[in-house]
Structure 1
Amino acid sequence: MFNNYLKIAFRNLLRNKVFSVINILGLALGMTCSLMIMLWVQDERSVDAFHANKNQLYRIYMKEFFSGKTQGVIWTPGPLAEELKRVVPEIQMSTAFSWPSSQTFMVGNKVNKQETNVAGADFFKMFSFKLLQGSPASALKDLNSLAISRKMAEIFFGSPEAAIGKTIRYDNRNDLVVTAVFENISQNSTLKFDCLRSWDAYVIDNEWAKDWGSTDPLTFFMIRPDANPTLVANKIKHVLDKYRKGLDKTELAMQPFHEYYLNSNFKNAEMEGGRIEYVRLFSIVAVFILLIACINFMNLATARSAKRAKEVGVRKVVGAVRMALIKQFIGEAMLLTIFAITISVLLVTLLLPSFNSLTGKAIVLPFDEISFWSLLIALTFITGIVAGSYPAFFLSSLNPIKVLKGTLKFDSASTWLRQGLVVFQFSLSIILVIGMIVIYRQIDYIQHKNLGFNRENLLYFPVEGNLNKKYNILKEEISHLSSIKYMSHMTANPAGIGDGTEAISWPGSNPNDKIRFTPVGVGYDFAKTMNLQVIAGREYSKDFASDSLGFIINETAQKAMGFKNPVGESVTWGRAKGRIIGVVKDFHFQSLHTPIRPMITYLSDRYKQGNIIVRVEAGKTSEAIAQLEALCKKLNPEYPFTYYFTDEEYAKQYRSEQVVSTLSSLFAFLAIFISSLGLFGLAAFIAEQRTKEIGIRKVLGASVLSLVNLLSKDFLKLVLLAFLISAPLAWYVSSNWLQGFAYRTEISWWIFAVAGALALLVAILTVSIQAIKAALMNPVKSLKTE
């Protein structure tokens, strides 16, 4: 019996080659798309899940209460990590962890920059980063300890074994000893670094790290296996109360470490949302696209039902029961699905390199894992059942007497179901198209929005080594270069100024109403170099000695202070007192996810730190870089010249949105294409049902155009209905997504018009193929009675 069914299935596939190809292609595309999304989702959820102690690891974030507002921040006081172990018995280990910085290392004549972080002695005991040499307990125990990656060990020493115990020069000022070598950090880790220094040594070099009022590092801790996380959360909540007296109320909260990657956004000072929204979104998209592909199968199978009706009638007459017929048709659907999943796996194998390049992933097909094969089997089984169920139940329910008489008709329920499936398909497709356009417009808005400064032709490089002492010589040399317009320096980088201070006061300010300002130290010609607009007063000048105590603020700071004419007003910053000498027009110094904050600048001319910023003449970038590199090598030979383009660093902040934009475009195209296949199937079905009617109309003189219009108008009504359903849903989803940006594009009416017109055009083209074919058919053949 099984062999008989298998032969029949293959015969049907070969007899109806076009429909078989369309069926298999539709399913293969849907399954390919779904499989790639599933692999991506699985990879996203695997980030930070490899740590053996993942269920005990947590990170601290702070809730700050000021000016009637609540703000969540992830940076914490330097002494917090050690204090947590002392005051909370359930906390077994803890560590501070600094922000990454590119630092210079030297061994003999080898000089190289490496991404460097700072961590406490417990770090390798808490996190499962594989040590190739050294032990977790001693890796960061001493002040001169340095743990390096395999890559760094091979660069400087040739191998991990040769690196252990060797001395390496750090920043041309300290000799550190390699106490551990760890395996290169994998892609599925949020903590990425080439080497780690001791936190205790960092505190000695940075006195502020001992101050409870200053915040900078991240704080991680590990609770004991038997500890209750809720109890620990209650205990740490008010730890800062006795250390931050006189400052705004601040509470501590904790988040499972492995959840941070997907939930990194703050909502009402709670960690909620982030990449998890994209994971959920694309998981839904994967299901929807697979459903669209299955609906195609149903419609195409139904379209061919008249060809199989007599077969079913004969089988029933000779004794076939309905369950046997259901098994047969579902078996045929399974066979098609097996062909489709085979093609799908081949397509995924071919497309994965491009997909990885687009998403920045390193996903591979895990053929050696049972879970992957279980996923494929489950995907095949579910797709086969979903796709084959309706045709199987429909065909097996046919009345053999009516079928063999040639009076096969379909009731209104069947018609409504098929039409509903088409509406469902196109509704999803239109939502994806609208979403694609909105995301594209937002990314375009970000890339071309006037930030208040010109990020084009603006590059920066770090102040390190001798560049601080020889800054004036460097500036003098640069002033003679025709390829460079202006030069200055700043303590941050122009693509992302962070930090904050509440220690700002002025006459009339409310001591209980703390406002967080973003401070940045700058040099002379800062406004010129950044191309900022000075709207009141002036920028710093060597002609005014008092500028060393002068401040420049932005418009938002002026509003926060309540000054109509702020120039000349006195400001106190901690113990320093000075006056406002200028106001610059607001500019975006952080991503567009964040509103512009009050900013205050001070002149940091005596000690340059952070970055040197350079405005390059348009079209002379290569020349400027070569000249800057030559100058830096002459003045600072121990350090390799490293530079960054502001526009490129700015674009990196929106990497996730760019990936989502590209993926959305691909998914929207696939959804429209697969939906058109389904519409093709339904058009073929209707044309087949109305063959004799079309023949009679042609005999009576109906034109081809009138017949095409007759067959097409009902389908166009379905697409219009899909548009009416999908438009408000798409507006709601798009509006919610845009809420994540403080500055965003508008959702214009034409977006919906374009999406609707595109769906309508695809429907017209798809249906017209079948309609024209039916209208051109010879009426003699269609009216011939067997």
Structure 2
Amino acid sequence: MLKNYFKTIFRNLWKNKAYSFLNIAGLAIGITSAALIGIWVEDETSFNHNFEKHDHLYRVMQNRKNDAGINTSGATPGPLAAALKNDIPGIRNSGRLSWSMDQKVVVGDLSTKEKGIYADPSVLTMCSLKFKYGKADGALKDPNNIVISETLAGKFFGKENPVGKTLKMDANGAYSVDGLYTVTGVFADLPANCSYHFQWVSPYETWENANDWLKPWSNAVIETMVELNDPADAASINRKLIDYLGTKVDGAKNQLFLFSMDDWNLRNHFENGVQTGGTIQYVRLFTLIGIIILLIACINFMNLATARSEQRAKEVGVLKVMGAGKGRLIGKFMGESVIMSLMAVLLAIVLLYLLMPAFNSLVEKQLSLNLFTPSHITALTGIAVLAGLVAGSYPAFFLSSFNPVKVLKGMRIKSNRAVVFIRKGLVIAQFSASVILIIGTVIIYQQVQHIKNRDIGYNKDRLVYMNLQGNMKAHFGVIKNKLIATGYVENAATSLHDALHIHSFGDAWSWQGKNPNLKIPIHSNVVSPGYMSTMHLKLVSGRDFYEGGADTNKVVINESLARLMGNEGKVGSMLKTSRFDLEIVGVVKDFIYNDVYGSSAPLILIGGYYGATVMALRFKPQVDLAQALAKTEAVMKAENPGSPFEYKFADEDFNALFVSETLIGKLAGIFASLAIFISCLGLFGLAAYTAERRTKEIGIRKVLGASVTGVVGLLSKEFVQLVALSCLIAFPVGQWAMHNWLQGYEYRITIHWWVFAFAGVAALAIALITVSFQAIKAAIVNPVKSLKEQ
């Protein structure tokens, strides 16, 4: 019995191969798209879940109030961690972490440059790092201890246990510490969806002892992590932290608060002291897109199933005459629909395996399908059963109610008006969603290009950055002269920070006539002579720094600071701190730094070499970059032997800041195309069904003189009207959605009318091409053949 049942179902699917393919392919593509989005969303929402205590771990943040608003930062004073553990009930543990540093690691003749941190021993236990060799407890008890990753251990020691062995750390950065360290543990590699990517960890105490400026409460430059007894205590602890700094530092008004590790990736954007989102916005956006695409595919599935159902009226009549009851007929049609849905899921799984490498390349992740994960199996099975039951419900209950006598007499079963209305509404919904996605794709692309192409105030073309390491700082003068002598380099200079990451050290700057109540953070960068000409910064007034170190007490300010200073914002005026009096020798045109989406903030360029960490060099126009890099590498290896030749182009560094937006634009474009494609599959099937139902009408019209063009127009008119109506719905929704999205950018585009015109014309053209294929096919059929009794 069951065998015959399945045989009948598959025979019917094979009989209607075209419709079966459209049904299964459309749903499979929808499931594949939704699954890819789901895997990406799952990866983003599981960030830091490799840490067993992730829901108990918090980073201490602070809000700094000033006249420009509230700035939120994770930089905290060194003594804070121990004080919090002692003073605040509910905090089980605490620890300090340095910022991530690149250091040269040497074992014998082997060397490599790796990122790592200096951290308190408590950090290892709080993060519950999994150790392959050694253990977290006691691993950092001595200043010369170090724990390394499994990957780093493999580079130097292969599969051998390295615990007890020695490696050397070379201090390449301005604040890192060199020396010999004993390996006391090897921890398992951290996953990609983790906020930390360190390859080594050394005691914080070692770093602190080499940098006394880390010790005072007045210097907030390190990260503080705490572990709570109960996450529910976070709100009450935050209330105690509001004025906590004031109890340690006289006059301190910055407010501390706890920032959950579960939010570090998803909700890490703050505006004026308020948490405003982050990656969670993209997670929500693509979750919605995934749901929309899946709904579009399910709509197709249902539409085609209901459209074809009326063609099976005689089959139902025969089955009823032969004794089939209503329940059996309902089971038959429901089963057929669920089997088609399951086939779509199987096809989707094949597509997922085929597309996963390309998708990983697109999103720059290493995601895996993990098909047999319970949540994944449940989701796929649920989609198959739900889509099958919903799509099969109308044919099952509608067809099983037919009067077999009327059906077998050849009386046409009229379509239920409500069903026709619903079918048209579903087509409108499909294309409305597709048009909204097209609008979003175009506007996201425009916004990214708008920011990329803005005048940032300096020339990033042929500009190269190199981190100072080894002898580069000490031999900079010689290196610069030799680089220029190659004929490929225009100029070179050093700086404390590169142009895209300039830090602020508070509002300690003052000048004559400054309002004592004015509190605005002023950023600063220490730059060598020739920096402005290397960067191609434009002087508004005054001069660049002189060579030879004569300008160590001189500064150049930008236009934003000059405006803030009023009458004192000019050459010859003085800027003061508690320690220095510095003379302004130039005013430079504003250039974009830090926030590439915003405007230039007040900035001071201080002349000198103090704390230099970066060298910038500019190649001459028209020189061959490959040859220029080769000449540069030769100079660097001669003057800085033993250090790797590493560089990055400024324009690539700049473009890297738009990775999220660029990715969102690409994904939106791909899924918008898929949404249109799936919608057109359904439209293709419905057009074929309409043409089939109106075969005799078309034959009569042709006999009476109707042209092929007229028949095509007749059959296409209804679908074009539906798509046009969907555009009218999509335009205001798309405008509202993208307007709200653009509000998150200070520097943004204006939404133009032609974007909507383009989306509408594109949707109409695609729909017309899809429908016209079937319409022309029906219109050119010989009318004699069409009018024969079927």
TM-score (norm 2): 0.95
Is the 2:496–2:612 contact (alpha carbons within 8 Å) kept by the matching residues of 1?
yes
* Cα offset, 1:20, TM superposition: 1.1
Tell whether 2:616 aligns with 1:613: yes
State whether residues 512 and 568 of structure 2, in contact with CA within 8 Å, keep that contact through their aligned partners in structure 1: no
1:463–1:608 contact (8 Å) kept in structure 2: no
Query: What CA distance in whole angstroms lies between the structure 2 residues aligned with 1:138 and 1:394?
Result: 73
1:135 and 2:138 equivalent?
Answer: no
Name the CA shift for 1:593/1:565 in 2 (closer, same or farther; >3 Å).
closer
- Distance in 1 between residues matched to 2:77 and 2:235, nearest whole Å: 23
Greater shift in the superposed pair: 571-580 or 764-773: 571-580
Gap change, CA 1:11 and 1:210, over 3 Å in 2: same
Question: What corresponds to 1:11 in structure 2?
Answer: 11
Letter in 1 for 2:596: L
Please tell me whether residue 572 in structure 1 is matched to residue 610 in structure 2.
Answer: no
Q: Which is further off, 161-170 or 514-523?
A: 161-170
The alignment partner of 1:41 has SS state of helix
**Alignment map for 1:404-423 (pairs within 5 Å):** 404=408, 405-423=410-428
Q: What SS is found at the alignment partner of 1:186?
A: coil
Corresponding residue of 1:222: 227
8 Å CA contact retained: 1:537, 1:581 = yes
Structure 2 equivalent of residue 440 of structure 1 = 445
Separation in structure 1 between the aligned mates of residue 640 and residue 752 of structure 2, nearest angstrom: 54
**Match of 2:636, as an amino acid?**
C
Alignment correspondent of 1:504:
509
- Does structure 1 residue 680 correspond to structure 2 residue 720? no
Deviation at 1:423, TM superposition (A): 0.4
Q: Does 1:707 align with 2:720?
A: no
Native 8 Å contact 2:560 2:590 kept in 1: yes
Q: Does 1:751 align with 2:755?
A: yes
1:60·1:219 contact (CA, 8 Å) conserved in 2?
yes
1:478 Cα deviation (Å)? 2.2
Q: Distance in 1 between matches of 2:389 and 2:502?
A: 55
How far apart, in 1, do the equivalents of 2:549 and 2:155 lie?
A: 49
Per the alignment, residue 177 of structure 1 pairs with 182
Please give the per-residue CA displacement for 1:492-549, whole angstroms capped at 9, x wherever unaligned: 123332344211111121222211111111111111111111112222123893x322
**Does residue 1:40 correspond to 2:40, yes or no?**
yes
In 2, the alpha carbon distance for the partners of 1:396 and 1:510 equals 85
C-alpha distance in 2, partners of 1:74/1:438? 33
- Match for 2:458 among 425, 430, 453? 453
Equivalent in 242, 258, 263 of residue 267 of structure 2: 263
Contact 1:168 1:178 in 2 (8 A): no
Aligned partners of 2:789, 2:108: CA distance in 1, in Å? 96
Deviation string for 1:707-756 (max 9, x for gaps)?
11111112111111111111111122222222333322332221111111
> 2: CA distance between counterparts of 1:340 and 1:15?
18
Q: 2:607 aligns with which of 591, 603, 608?
A: 603
Contact 1:84 1:236 in 2 (8 A): no
CA contact (8 A) 1:303 1:684 kept: no
1:68/1:113 Cα in 2 relative to 1: closer, same or farther (>3 Å)?
closer
How far is the alpha carbon of 1:594 from its aligned partner?
Answer: 4.2
Tell me how far apart the structure 2 counterparts of residues 727 and 181 of structure 1 sit (CA, whole Å): 57
Provide the C-alpha distance between the structure 1 equivalents of 2:516 and 2:319, rounded to a whole number of angstroms: 90
Q: Is the 8 A contact 1:302 1:685 kept in 2?
A: no
Q: 1: CA distance between counterparts of 2:507 and 2:46?
A: 39
Of 217-226 and 767-776, more deviation after overlay is shown by 217-226
Say whether residues 1:89 and 2:89 are aligned partners. yes
Match of 2:243 in 1: 238
**Bigger Cα displacement from structure 2, 383-392 vs 657-666:** 383-392
1:163, distance to aligned residue in structure 2 (A):
4.5
The answer (yes or no) to whether the contact 1:107–1:169 under 8 Å persists in 2 is no
Contact 2:70 2:271 in 1 (8 A): no
Shift of 1:429: 0.5
Q: Match of 1:136, as an amino acid?
A: A
**Residue 540 of structure 2 aligns to a residue in which SS?**
strand
Asked whether the 8 Å contact 1:468–1:608 carries over to 2, the reply is no
Distance 1:647 1:574, change over 3 A: farther
Amino acid paired to 1:615: R
Q: Provide closer, same or farther for how the CA distance between residues 557 and 286 of structure 1 changes in structure 2, counting only shifts above 3 A.
A: same
Tell me which amino acid in the other structure corresponds to 2:37.
I
Does 2:589 match 1:585?
Answer: yes
Partner of 2:294: 290
Aligned to 2:379: 375
**Residue 356 of structure 2, aligned match among 345, 352, 356:** 352
Matched residue, 2:664: 660
Alignment of 1:305-324 (within 5 A): 305-324=309-328
Q: TM-score if structure 1 supplies the norm length?
A: 0.95
Change (3 A) 1:520 1:46: same
Q: Mapping of 1:157-236 within 5 angstroms?
A: 157-159=157-159, 161-171=161-171, 173-225=178-230, 228-236=233-241
CA RMSD of aligned residues (A): 2.1
Please give the secondary structure, in 2, of the residue aligned with 1:245: coil
More divergent stretch after superposition (666-675 vs 62-71):
62-71
Percent identity (aligned)? 39
CA drift at 1:122: 0.6
Cα separation, 1, equivalents of 2:415 and 2:458 = 67
What CA distance in whole angstroms lies between the structure 1 residues aligned with 2:167 and 2:693? Answer: 84
Q: Distance in 1 between matches of 2:181 and 2:16?
A: 74
In structure 2, the partner of 1:534 is: 539
Partner of 2:552: 548
Say whether residues 1:525 and 2:526 are aligned partners: no
Q: CA deviation at 1:461?
A: 1.0
TM-superposed deviation, 1:159: 3.9
Number of the residue aligned with 1:735: 739
SS at match of 2:247: coil
Number of aligned pairs?
783
Corresponding letter in the other structure for 1:524: P
Q: Deviations over 1:219-245 (max 9, x none)?
A: 211012487222222222322112343
Alignment partner, residue 279 of structure 1: 283
Q: Is the 8 A contact 2:492 2:615 kept in 1?
A: yes
**Counterpart AA for 1:243:** K
2:511–2:568 Cα contact (<8 Å) kept: no
TM-superposition CA deviations, 1:663-686 (whole Å, max 9, x none)? 111101110100001111222232
Contact 1:591 1:653 in 2 (8 A): no
Q: Deviations over 1:361-412 (max 9, x none)?
A: 2111214433332232222222222333344344344454554442221233
Name the counterpart of 1:776.
Answer: 780
Q: Which residue identity lines up with residue 616 of structure 1 in the other structure?
A: F
Is the Cα contact below 8 Å between 2:305 and 2:391 reproduced in 1? Answer: no
Higher mean Cα deviation, 389-398 or 94-103?
389-398
Q: Which moved further from structure 2: 451-460 or 652-661?
A: 652-661
Does the Cα contact within 8 Å between 1:505 and 1:573 map onto a contact in 2?
yes
C-alpha displacement at 1:78, in angstroms? Answer: 2.6
Q: Distance in 2 between matches of 1:624 and 1:776?
A: 66
My pick for the range that moved more, 512-521 or 728-737, is 728-737
Change (3 A) 1:475 1:703: same
Structure 1: gaps spanning 5 or more residues: none
Residues 392/561 of structure 1: CA separation in 2 closer, same or farther (3 Å cut) = farther
Matching residue's letter, 1:634? A
Task: Classify the secondary structure of the residue corresponding to 1:510.
Answer: coil
CA separation in 2, counterparts of 1:212 and 1:433? 53
Contact 1:133 1:164 in 2 (8 A): no
- Structure 1 pair 142–706 and aligned structure 2 pair: CA distance change class (3 A): same
Q: Give deviations 1:591-624, integer Å, cap 9, x for gaps.
A: 424442211110123x352101000123332223
Measured in 2, the distance between the counterparts of 1:645 and 1:687 equals 59
What is the rounded CA distance, in whole Å, between the counterparts of 2:534 and 2:358 in structure 1?
39
The alignment partner of 2:387 has SS state of helix
Match of 2:332?
A: 328
1:421-432 matched pairs, under 5 angstroms? 421-432=426-437
SS in 1 for 2:448: helix
How far apart, CA to CA, are the structure 1 residues paired with 2:579 and 2:472?
A: 29
**Residue type of the partner of 1:412?**
R
